[in-house]
Amino acid sequence: MHKRFNPIKDKSSEIIEFLMSSPDMPEDEALRFKLRLSIEEAVENVVRYAYEGGIGWLEAGTSLDEDNLVLTVELRDAGVPFNPLDREDPDITLSAEDREIGGLGIFLCKQMMDSINYRYEDGNNILTMTKNINK
């Protein structure tokens, strides 16, 4: 299930709800919580930072592997090339006041998902997140 949103300005909620309503999503509430948090963080990053003024597109989609055990969430945009995984993980042992601003959302995604991969291909940022949904 894939859909292109254009423009993406002010459409974070719509994009997130589209992904969360996918028939690929598990029914388990604990898994859905982790998936929603990760999707929210990733979508917000694209909507806020990929394009000047949010005028651009985002293609979002989900799929299951052939055994229906692994869910893949993919986000693709043609915004400014940016690999969120290049950023060093924040030092969560420090207080919020002592930590650098930013990076906590992607850190949480890494903790919640089984894998997160980024690639830049044919002028597109492609972020792929996977989660084992077999319980």
pLDDT in tens, the chain (135 residues): 899 999 999 999 999 999 999 999 999 999 999 999 999 999 998 998 899 887 899 999 999 999 999 999 999 999 999 898 786 655 555 455 554 555 556 778 888 999 999 999 999 999 999 999 985
Task: Give the pLDDT confidence score for residue 20 in this predicted structure.
Answer: 98
Q: In what order do the strands lie in the sheet with 70-77?
A: 2-5, 58-64, 70-77, 124-132, 115-121
Contacts of 17 (CB under 8 A, 6+ apart): none
Contact between 62 and 25 under an 8 Å Cβ cutoff? The reply is yes
> What is the CATH number that goes with domain 2-132?
3.30.565.10
- The length of the chain, given as a count of residues: 135
pLDDT at 123: 96
Per-residue model confidence (pLDDT) at position 33: 95
pLDDT of residue 94: 47
Predicted confidence at residue 51, as pLDDT, reads: 94
107 neighbors 89 (Cβ within 8 angstroms): yes
